Chains A and B, each alone.
Chain A
Amino acid sequence: MSWFQFVVKVYYDMPRIEEKKLLKALEDAGLKAVPFNVTREPLPLNGIEEHIPLIRAVSMFKSLYTAAALEANSLKPINSSFTIMYSGDKILTYSILASHNIPIPKTIVSLNGDSTVKAYLQMGFPLVDKPPIGSWGRLVSLIRDWHEANIVIEHRSMMSSPQMKAHIVQEYVKMPSNRDIRCFVVGDECLGCIYRIPQEGEWRSNVALGANVKKLEDSCDACELALKAAKALKGEVVSIDLFEYQDGLLVNEVNGVPEFKGFMRATGMDVAKKVAEYIKGKVKR
């Protein structure tokens, strides 16, 4: 089979602009791009024909289990179940990053309300508390006093999911204009980095919460750290969020099924094309 006939299946649940752009870019690159809705069809653990899977479900667990089912078929999804699991659960992300000596914010993990009170005492206010699972800034709380602390502890204790009862307690890293940095990595290449600047009245810098974006002109240091984080998480197509700290940069998150609307807006770069070229390169090898 020659490379131009190779099938790339895009596994999704709710197609966003990113999935549409990826499907088009793959076709433009001469590959056969096939959309696969993981909520419509089952995934057998053997007998699936050879192809390159690109995992793009909005649901982290749907992405994770899709990648795992495909790996059972000896396929190599982009990204792997390892990358999706270890980037999707932030406790696992920080564990991997810390074990690779990659700088992260000062972090304490606590698994219920009582231990969270002790974690808050150890960290001191202001602090940030977030659950291990979640995205788009959801449930990420800035806690400045015991009044806010008790509300967060109580609300999270009432959530049914065991993951939501776990707390990631972190120092509040005060950054210039509350901005953070997002870098995009494809294979061994860092495509660049952008600032994400929260809109007025918001302290979180997620594009989903209306943050503005601006290209980071000198992205060498950020890219160097992003590539280290991507390698630690074994990520092929990932985005990495960084904080500017007094002593340098910290890695805050790695995204295993990264969105790139904001990155494209800030940089003008065709990310989908870069991903398609990367996949085409893998087929050729």
Chain B
Amino acid sequence: MKVKCPVCGAEIELPEDVMDGEIIECESCGAQLEVKKSGDKIELKVAEEAAEDWGE
């Protein structure tokens, strides 16, 4: 499935197993993007910056 980067407008091909919440990188502009998936609808938004409690 193809969606548009909300930052630069480039077309991004999403992997088949893409999950809601997944972080992907736009190969065109390098933006970190979060996948928002609701039913069949998929959109991208700019991902939040890494937080201090992120990790394992």
The chain A residues found within 8 Å of chain B, CB to CB, are 12-15, 19-20, 35, 37, 39-40, 58-61, 88, 131, 133-136, 138-139, 161, 163-164, 239, 255-259
- Looking at the assembled complex, report how far the CB atom of B3 sits from the nearest CB atom of chain A, in whole angstroms: 17
Residue of A nearest to B50 (CB): A138
Do the beta carbons of B55 and A164 come within 8 Å of each other?
no
Do the beta carbons of B19 and A59 come within 8 Å of each other?
no
Query: What A residues does B56 contact at CB under 8 A?
Result: 58, 135-136, 239, 255-259
Ranked nearest first, the 9 interchain pairs of A and B with the lowest CB-CB distance are A135-B55, A60-B53, A15-B19, A255-B56, A259-B56, A37-B21, A61-B53, A58-B54, A15-B22
- Looking at the assembled complex, report how far the CB atom of A109 sits from the nearest CB atom of chain B, in whole angstroms: 18
Residue in A15, A19, A133, A239 whose CB lies within 8 Å of B53: A133
Residue in A14, A161, A163 whose CB lies within 8 Å of B23: A14
Residue in B22, B34, B54 whose CB lies within 8 Å of A135: B54
Residue in A14, A61, A88 whose CB lies within 8 Å of B21: A14
Query: What B residues does A134 contact at CB under 8 A?
Result: 52-53, 55
- Looking at the assembled complex, report how far the CB atom of A133 sits from the nearest CB atom of chain B, in whole angstroms: 5
Determine if B40 is an interface residue (Cβ-Cβ < 8 Å): no
What range describes how many residues of B lie at the interface?
10 to 19
Query: What A residues does B34 contact at CB under 8 A?
Result: 14
Query: What B residues does A257 contact at CB under 8 A?
Result: 55-56
Q: What sequence of 0s and 1s flags, for each residue 6-24 of chain B, a beta carbon within 8 Å of any chain A beta carbon? A: 0000000000010111110
Q: How far is the CA of A258 from the CA of B51 in the complex (A)?
A: 17
Residue of B nearest to A61 (CB): B53
- Looking at the assembled complex, report how far the CB atom of A77 sits from the nearest CB atom of chain B, in whole angstroms: 16
- Looking at the assembled complex, report how far the CB atom of A76 sits from the nearest CB atom of chain B, in whole angstroms: 21
Query: What A residues does B54 contact at CB under 8 A?
Result: 58-60, 135-136
- Looking at the assembled complex, report how far the CB atom of B50 sits from the nearest CB atom of chain A, in whole angstroms: 8
Query: What B residues does A60 contact at CB under 8 A?
Result: 53-55
Q: How far is the CA of A134 from the CA of B52 in the complex (A)?
A: 6
Residue of B nearest to A253 (CB): B56
Contact sample, A vs B, 14 pairs, CB 8 Å cutoff: A12-B21, A14-B34, A15-B21, A20-B19, A58-B54, A58-B55, A58-B56, A60-B55, A88-B53, A134-B55, A136-B56, A138-B52, A139-B52, A239-B56
- Looking at the assembled complex, report how far the CB atom of A275 sits from the nearest CB atom of chain B, in whole angstroms: 14
List residues 15-38 of chain B with CB under 8 A from any CB of chain A.
Answer: 17, 19-23, 34
- Looking at the assembled complex, report how far the CB atom of A74 sits from the nearest CB atom of chain B, in whole angstroms: 27
Do the beta carbons of B22 and A14 come within 8 Å of each other?
yes
- Looking at the assembled complex, report how far the CB atom of A140 sits from the nearest CB atom of chain B, in whole angstroms: 11
Q: How far is the CA of A35 from the CA of B54 in the complex (A)?
A: 19
- Looking at the assembled complex, report how far the CB atom of A104 sits from the nearest CB atom of chain B, in whole angstroms: 19
- Looking at the assembled complex, report how far the CB atom of B23 sits from the nearest CB atom of chain A, in whole angstroms: 5
Query: What B residues does A138 contact at CB under 8 A?
Result: 52, 55
- Looking at the assembled complex, report how far the CB atom of B25 sits from the nearest CB atom of chain A, in whole angstroms: 13
